């Protein structure tokens, strides 16, 4: 077996690839979070909660319409829930200190975790994925399973679609404009409320999609959202707040960094992403691809 | 003396009387002294946070880190250095304050939601250190094997370990010192400048006030107070664990400050009292207490954004 | 999920008023006017957080025990109340709740916690307050080892008992080169030490140990390292959702086809959350519901099904049940509620058939207060031959006094109060 001939190089190679796969998943979470942060000036602490909602919706409907159906249906359903939450709870807070939306989503995360436990029980739930995805592609590269590749593919498609949306559609151009200067956009007669709602829905759609993907990979637990939220935060800060390509880069970087650290110093594999963030903030306060002045 | 001043004095006297006699009126009402002690410690933490949040207008969402550092500082001192309660408190406070001061230099330029994000993220650094450096901190199991020591006052000893009431009074004494210091700073010219920055940062800058340096000092001071609160918390439990540093704990502190009223000095103490008692009560009666606490967050944000004190003052006016 | 029956009056009160948040300030204090006749058992368990499933099951078991003992006349002719508190998997909260149960509610007995760290911290409080305490589900050795206390007893196995029960089977069946996936906290460390001690005695070697942080979701980096070390068997010591994630990834990567995968403690809660193809490996269960011909088991299974949405009991149900029952049995036998006296009487106290629910002799050992309970060694199965709920095939039921180290080896020296 080739691993035995040169274990260290291959181990490194394995972990870099693997880190990229994990990072791709963070990217999906972080992009949604970033969209909402940029336009609504809201740190959505309930983002992990929406991921859990997406996952559990998929779990609930898989028996009827199968995994593929759930993959298509669950994210838009989550987005609808997000839309309602935005309308009823978050909209009254625009224009107030960001402290309030932060506290609100913080409380919302509690309610979502507890609600899922109430409805589905505290015990973890398995989600069945199509059998052909649930096996490794080759014996040596056993960690590249069909499902992981599939996840990466879905992330790539979602990211590509998102960038197309932002670059070429009217909605996307308005969202980008609003990120830079909301007042001017409003002065031009664009309905800012509607813009924010749609933008929020797109962000929650991505959270729901991450939820379905995570459900297939990890299974479901009411508490799973919390653990996945922080890496996405770091991805945004490292990449540069306000820059979606930055978020993309940040997500992949922290995936690789924690993959590599797991080889040499497993105990630090979670702390390393924070160290990375500290270094980036020291050397380049606005983040890798962040624009000047965005962070203050 | 004007009536306003008299009223203020009466309120102040009432607050201190309620605090001093808490062990005597809480127990007959069905509370327990340990709960009163907890309220006091978490109240101090919320007031420390509010020193920054309410009076400088800067939102730190990672202050639990300095609280937790204070707890570990006190615990490690008692476990490895010396069996002295005052030394533990001092070193705990120093650990929280110094770490806060160092990190403060990195983050004072950020504002608003970005300040919040960066403080959360840096707070989590300390969380992971406490969580994963298990040889020193005990990791997820927490730091055990120490306990608060009787106070040796030369002539006599006060046993704060086994007497819940004596310990409460000791905590109240520390609380009074810290709160007195906070009040003194806020009345000083420096405190006035902090409020000026909160009200209009741009104007303060034009007036030649070094805004960043002031925010840094306020942040650092607030971390020192936070460290003290954390050190007291370690003495309450005879224990320190990583959960005390987690950002969800920070969220609780911010909530206490907001719920009580950020713009008033005593508001956070009121908020902490309501929050701690309510959580203690809810989690005994229903396993779904998290939903109720979450609902409380939502309701306060939507309907009482100025907090309980703000609400009372407004309805009076 | 329901709340706890004995306190309905408080819950109703709460429902109306909870929304008013702030005005609730005074209400917790109204609740004193309850009859002082009931004997109270306090239970602290992490009902929210990652251990919510096992903790909920322990509470369910304890509740069943309370119902049954009340139907038979309670303790010393008095009714028994169970007061449950959520430790939220947080030591500070757990300690606070234990103090509250003791100081305010005046409980006579204490049960808890699933998390060893919290269990040990609560034990400090109960021994300070002289309350008889049974640790239902925290496994770390020190609780009935070097940190043992006169008032603390334990129902579940120690990590060393778990390792001893299954090590020789693993060695003879799977081979002598072991690689460990260990959760990085006290439970994991003691379990790893126990396993490696056994392995050395048997003459095997450790090819490596991957320390994984609690709450790891992606195990691939560790699995890559483990496979590169080329062991005969990969030993998974992680628990709860970590176990689920790890086993799932092992199977997705097809590693189970190259290396044997096994471990020590496995729980029905975990197997149930796994997809069928990932229910593999040799393990030990601490109790299993399918024991044909053993007295009392069928009735217990039927009783739990009634309150558990039709599902079978897990080891956690039995832990809660046996813990609560032990109090009633010993108190009724001694006709006393005195903690010191009852602690003395529990030493070498043997559980009767309808409580032990297993074939071997089960008793609290004098010296370290550890329950000598059996290990159910066997293999996970994706589906039972004639029963879809039968996820585990028990091969051997090893009695506790065969797996436990001697009292001297545990390092326990009980200090009785003067």
- CB of C24 within 8 Å of a chain B CB? The answer is yes
| H/E stretch holding A117 | helix A98-120
Number of Cβ atoms within 10 Å of the Cβ of A29? 29
pLDDT at C158 over 90: yes
Q: Do C185 and B241 touch (CB under 8 A)?
A: no
- C297-307 and C315-334 helices cross at what angle (nearest 10)? 110
Report d(CA C120, CA C130) in Å as an integer: 15
pLDDT confidence of A7, banded at 50, 70, 90?
A: low
- CB of B72 within 8 Å of a chain C CB? The answer is no
Q: Do C214 and B141 touch (CB under 8 A)?
A: no
Which pLDDT does position C213 carry in this prediction?
Answer: 79
Q: Do B277 and C103 touch (CB under 8 A)?
A: no
pLDDT confidence of C20, banded at 50, 70, 90?
A: very low
Closest CA to B130 of B62, B65, B51, B181: B65
Chain B residue whose CA is closest to A92: B302
Number of Cβ atoms within 10 Å of the Cβ of C76? 14
* Percent of chain C topping pLDDT 70: 91
Number of inter-chain CB pairs under 8 A, B vs C: 137
CB C234 within 8 A of CB C261: yes
pLDDT confidence of A295, banded at 50, 70, 90?
A: very low
Which pLDDT does position C35 carry in this prediction?
Answer: 45
Nearest to A15 among C215, C221, C244 (CB): C221
Token pair 């058939």: residue: C353
Which pLDDT does position A290 carry in this prediction?
Answer: 77
Contacts B132 to C, Cβ<8 Å: 184, 213
- CB of C34 within 8 Å of a chain B CB? The answer is no
What value does the mean pLDDT take over residues A210-223?
A: 85
Nearest to C252 among A19, A134, A139 (CB): A134
pTM for the model: 0.84
Q: Do C124 and B241 touch (CB under 8 A)?
A: no
Residue B172 lies in a domain: yes
Closest CA to C163 of C283, C250, C256: C283
Question: B59: domain range?
Answer: 36-247
Nearest to B114 among A103, A241, A274 (CB): A241
Chain C residue whose CA is closest to A114: C48
Residues in chain A: 296
Query: Which residues in chain A (188-227) have CB-CB distances under 8 A to chain B?
Result: 226
Strands C375-380, C282-285: pairing kind: antiparallel
- Residues 6+ away with beta carbon under 8 Å from A59: A70, A120, A125, A127, A215, A220
- CB of C120 within 8 Å of a chain B CB? The answer is yes
Residue B151 lies in a domain: yes
What chains are in contact with B, requiring at least 3 Cβ pairs below 8 Å? A, C
What value does the mean pLDDT take over residues C162-174?
A: 91
Report d(CA A231, CA C33) in Å as an integer: 50
Nearest to A123 among C212, C254, C272 (CB): C272
Q: Do A109 and B294 touch (CB under 8 A)?
A: yes
Report d(CA B111, CA A293) in Å as an integer: 11
| H/E stretch holding A60 | helix A47-85
Residue-wise over C290-304: b if at least 16 C-beta within 10 A, else e? bbeebeebeebbebb
Chain C residue whose CA is closest to A259: C221
Mutate to test the interface with A, among B128, B202, B260, B278 (most CBs of A within 10 A): B128
| A47-62 tens-digit pLDDT | 999 999 999 999 999 8
- Report H helices in chain B: 3-20, 22-26, 33-53, 64-76, 85-107, 112-132, 134-137, 164-187, 189-199, 201-206, 211-237, 247-260, 267-285, 289-303, 307-316
Token pair 């199968």: residue: A66
| H/E stretch holding C154 | strand C152-154
- Residues 6+ away with beta carbon under 8 Å from A269: A258, A261, A262, C213, C221
Distance from CA of C361 to the nearest CA of B (A): 33
Both tokens of residue C10? 């408080």
pLDDT confidence of A6, banded at 50, 70, 90?
A: low
Alpha carbon separation from C345 to A113, B176, C341 (Å, rounded): 44, 49, 6
pLDDT confidence of C181, banded at 50, 70, 90?
A: very high
CA–CA–CA angle A266, A272, A275 (5° rounding): 150
Contacts A111 to B, Cβ<8 Å: 290-291, 294-295, 298
What is the Rg, in whole angstroms, of the alpha carbon atoms belonging to chain B?
Answer: 19
Report d(CA C229, CA C107) in Å as an integer: 52
- CB of C12 within 8 Å of a chain B CB? The answer is no
Which pLDDT does position A293 carry in this prediction?
Answer: 52
CB C208 within 8 A of CB A263: no
| A194 burial via Cβ count (<10 Å: 0-12, 13-18, 19+) | exposed
- Residues 6+ away with beta carbon under 8 Å from C92: B233, B237, B239, B241, B243, B244
- CB of C1 within 8 Å of a chain B CB? The answer is yes
- CB of C211 within 8 Å of a chain A CB? The answer is yes
- Residues 6+ away with beta carbon under 8 Å from A122: A222, C1, C47, C52, C53, C55, C56
Q: Tell me, what DSSP letter sits at residue C393?
A: E
Residue B309 lies in a domain: no
- Report H helices in C41-181: 52-71, 91-103, 116-129, 159-174
Which pLDDT does position C21 carry in this prediction?
Answer: 39
Q: Do B280 and C7 touch (CB under 8 A)?
A: no
Quickly list DSSP for C231-293.
Answer: -SEEEE---HHHHHHHHHHHHHTTGGGTSEEEESB--HHHHHHS-GGG--SEEEES--S--TT
Number of Cβ atoms within 10 Å of the Cβ of B80? 10
pLDDT confidence of C397, banded at 50, 70, 90?
A: very high
Q: Do A267 and C213 touch (CB under 8 A)?
A: yes
Residue B201 lies in a domain: yes
Q: Residue C42 pairs with which residues in a beta bridge?
A: C83, C110
Q: Which of A176-185, B275-284, C315-324 has the highest mean pLDDT?
A: C315-324
Residue B27 lies in a domain: no
- Report H helices in B188-306: 189-199, 201-206, 211-237, 247-260, 267-285, 289-303
Which pLDDT does position A21 carry in this prediction?
Answer: 85
CB B36 within 8 A of CB B175: no
Weakest mean pLDDT among B13-22, C74-83, C146-155 = B13-22
Which pLDDT does position C32 carry in this prediction?
Answer: 39
Report d(CA C225, CA B264) in Å as an integer: 56
Interface TM-score (ipTM) > 0.95: no
Q: How many domains does chain B have?
A: 1
| B229-261 tens-digit pLDDT | 999 999 888 888 888 888 889 989 998 999 888
- CB of C32 within 8 Å of a chain B CB? The answer is yes
Query: Which residues in chain C (206-265) have CB-CB distances under 8 A to chain B?
Result: 213-214
What is the largest distance, in Å, between two alpha-carbon atoms of chain B? 60
Return the percent helix, strand and coil in chain C, to nearest 5. Answer: 45, 15, 35
Closest CA to B198 of B49, B56, B54, B306: B56
Both tokens of residue C254? 């097809």
Residue B173 lies in a domain: yes
pLDDT confidence of A292, banded at 50, 70, 90?
A: low
Residues in chain B predicted with pLDDT less than 50, given as ranges, are none
- CB of B291 within 8 Å of a chain C CB? The answer is no
Between residues A242 and A33, the one the model is more confident about: A33
Between residues C185 and B215, the one the model is more confident about: B215
Number of inter-chain CB pairs under 8 A, A vs B: 121
Q: Do B141 and C120 touch (CB under 8 A)?
A: yes
| C89-142 tens-digit pLDDT | 888 889 889 988 998 888 999 998 998 888 988 998 899 889 999 999 999 898
Which pLDDT does position C26 carry in this prediction?
Answer: 38
pLDDT confidence of C5, banded at 50, 70, 90?
A: very low
Q: Tell me, what DSSP letter sits at residue C81?
A: E
Residue B20 lies in a domain: no
What chains are in contact with A, requiring at least 3 Cβ pairs below 8 Å? B, C
Closest CA to A274 of A223, A242, A231, A213: A231
What value does the mean pLDDT take over residues A208-235?
A: 86
Both tokens of residue A275? 């160290």
What value does the mean pLDDT take over residues C147-162?
A: 94
Report d(CA C330, CA C334) in Å as an integer: 6
pLDDT at A131 over 90: no
Which pLDDT does position A253 carry in this prediction?
Answer: 92
| C212-256 tens-digit pLDDT | 877 787 888 888 888 888 899 999 999 888 898 899 889 888 888
Mutate to test the interface with B, among A30, A112, A114, A182 (most CBs of B within 10 A): A114
Report d(CA C299, CA C354) in Å as an integer: 9
Residue B281 lies in a domain: no
* Percent of chain C topping pLDDT 90: 62
Chain A residue whose CA is closest to C274: A126
């Amino acid at each position: 077996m080739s691993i035995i001939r040169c274990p260290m190089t291959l181990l490194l190679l394995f972990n870099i690839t693997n880190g990229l796969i994990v990072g791709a998943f963070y990217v999906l979470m972080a992009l949604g979070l970033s969209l909402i942060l940029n336009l609504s000036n809201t740190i959505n602490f309930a983002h992990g909660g929406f991921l859990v909602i997406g996952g559990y919706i998929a779990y609930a409907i898989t028996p009827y319409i199968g995994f593929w159906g759930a993959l298509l249906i669950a994210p838009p359903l989550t987005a609808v829930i997000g839309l309602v939450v935005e309308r009823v709870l978050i909209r009254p807070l625009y224009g107030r200190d960001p402290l309030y939306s932060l506290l609100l989503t913080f409380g919302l995360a509690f309610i979502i975790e507890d609600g899922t436990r109430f409805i589905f029980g505290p015990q973890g739930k398995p989600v069945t994925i199509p059998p052909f995805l649930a096996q490794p592609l080759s014996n040596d590269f056993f960690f590249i399973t069909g499902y992981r590749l599939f996840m990466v593919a879905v992330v790539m498609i979602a990211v590509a679609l998102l960038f197309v949306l932002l670059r070429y559609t009217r909605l996307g151009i308005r969202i980008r404009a609003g990120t830079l200067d909301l007042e001017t956009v409003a002065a031009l007669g664009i309905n800012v409320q509607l813009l924010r709602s749609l933008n929020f829905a797109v962000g929650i759609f991505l959270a729901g999609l991450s939820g379905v993907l995570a459900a297939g990979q990890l299974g479901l637990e009411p508490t799973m959202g919390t653990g996945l939220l922080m890496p996405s935060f770091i991805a945004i800060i490292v990449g540069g707040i306000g820059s979606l390509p930055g978020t993309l880069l940040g997500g992949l970087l922290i995936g690789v960094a924690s993959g590599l650290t797991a080889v040499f110093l497993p105990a630090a594999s979670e702390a390393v992403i924070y160290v990375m963030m500290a270094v980036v903030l020291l050397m380049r306060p606005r983040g890798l691809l962040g624009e000047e002045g965005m962070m203050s | 003396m004007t009536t306003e001043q008299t009223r203020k004095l009466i309120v102040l006297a009432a607050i201190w009387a309620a605090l001093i006699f808490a062990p005597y009126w809480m127990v007959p009402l069905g509370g327990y002294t340990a709960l009163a002690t907890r309220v006091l410690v978490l109240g101090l933490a919320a007031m420390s946070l509010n020193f920054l949040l309410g009076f400088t207008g800067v939102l730190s969402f990672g202050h639990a880190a300095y609280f937790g550092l204070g707890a570990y500082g006190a615990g490690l001192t008692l476990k490895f250095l010396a069996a002295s309660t005052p030394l533990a408190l001092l070193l705990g406070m120093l650990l929280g304050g110094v770490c806060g001061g160092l990190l403060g230099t990195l983050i004072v330029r950020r504002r608003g939601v970005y300040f919040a994000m960066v403080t959360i993220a840096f707070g989590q650094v300390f969380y992971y250190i406490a969580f994963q450096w298990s040889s020193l901190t005990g990791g997820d199991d927490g730091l055990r094997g120490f306990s608060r020591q009787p106070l040796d006052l030369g002539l006599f000893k006060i046993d704060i370990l086994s007497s819940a009431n004596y310990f409460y009074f000791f905590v109240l004494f520390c609380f009074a010192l810290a709160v007195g210091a906070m009040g003194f700073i806020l009345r000083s010219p420096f405190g006035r400048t902090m409020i000026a920055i909160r009200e209009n940062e741009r104007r303060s800058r034009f007036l030649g006030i070094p805004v960043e340096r002031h925010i840094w000092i306020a942040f650092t001071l607030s971390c020192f107070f936070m460290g003290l609160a954390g050190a007291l918390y370690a003495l309450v439990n005879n224990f320190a664990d990583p959960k005390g540093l987690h950002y969800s704990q920070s969220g609780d502190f911010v909530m206490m400050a907001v719920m009580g009223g950020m713009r008033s000095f005593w508001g956070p103490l009121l908020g902490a009292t309501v929050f701690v008692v309510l959580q203690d009560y809810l989690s005994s009666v229903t396993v779904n207490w998290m939903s109720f606490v979450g609902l409380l967050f939502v309701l306060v944000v939507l309907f009482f954004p100025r907090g309980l004190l703000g609400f009372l003052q407004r309805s009076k006016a | 999920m329901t709340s706890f029956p004995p306190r309905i009056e408080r819950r109703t009160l709460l429902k109306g008023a909870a929304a008013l948040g702030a005005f609730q300030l005074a209400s917790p204090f109204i609740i004193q006017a309850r009859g002082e006749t009931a004997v109270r058992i306090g239970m602290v368990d992490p009902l929210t957080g990652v251990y919510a499933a096992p903790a909920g099951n322990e509470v369910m078991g304890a509740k069943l025990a309370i119902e049954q003992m009340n139907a038979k006349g309670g303790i010393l002719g008095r009714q028994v109340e169970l007061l449950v508190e959520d430790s939220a998997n947080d030591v500070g909260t757990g300690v606070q709740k234990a103090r509250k149960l003791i100081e305010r509610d005046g409980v006579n007995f204490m049960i808890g916690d699933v998390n060893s760290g919290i269990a040990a911290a609560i034990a400090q409080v109960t021994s300070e307050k002289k309350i008889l305490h049974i640790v239902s589900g925290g496994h770390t050795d020190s609780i009935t080892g070097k940190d043992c206390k006169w008032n603390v007893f334990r129902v579940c196995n120690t990590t060393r008992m778990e390792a001893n029960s299954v090590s020789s089977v693993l060695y003879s069946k799977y081979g002598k080169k072991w690689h460990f996936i260990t959760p990085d906290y006290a439970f994991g460390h003691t379990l790893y030490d126990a396993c490696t001690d056994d392995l050395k005695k048997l003459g095997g070697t450790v090819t490596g140990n991957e320390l994984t942080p609690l709450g790891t979701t992606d195990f691939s980096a560790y699995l890559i390292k483990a496979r590169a070390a080329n062991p005969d068997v990969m030993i998974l010591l992680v628990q709860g959702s970590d176990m689920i994630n790890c086993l799932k990834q092992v199977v997705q990567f097809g590693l189970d086809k190259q290396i044997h995968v096994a471990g020590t403690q496995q729980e029905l809660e975990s197997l149930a959350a796994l997809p069928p193809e990932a229910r593999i490996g040799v393990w030990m269960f601490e109790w299993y519901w399918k024991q044909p011909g053993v007295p009392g088991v069928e009735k217990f299974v039927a009783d739990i099904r009634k309150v558990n949405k039709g599902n079978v009991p897990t080891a956690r149900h039995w832990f809660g049940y046996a813990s609560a029952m032990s109090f009633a049995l010993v108190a009724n036998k001694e006709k006393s509620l005195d903690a010191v006296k009852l602690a003395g009487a529990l030493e070498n106290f043997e559980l009767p058939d309808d409580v032990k629910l297993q074939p071997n002799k089960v008793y609290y050992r004098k010296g370290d207060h550890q329950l000598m309970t059996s290990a159910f060694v066997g293999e996970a199965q994706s589906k039972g031959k004639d029963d879809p709920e039968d996820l585990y095939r028990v091969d051997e039921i090893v009695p506790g006094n065969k797996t436990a180290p001697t009292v001297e080896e545990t390092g326990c020296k009980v200090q009785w109060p003067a």
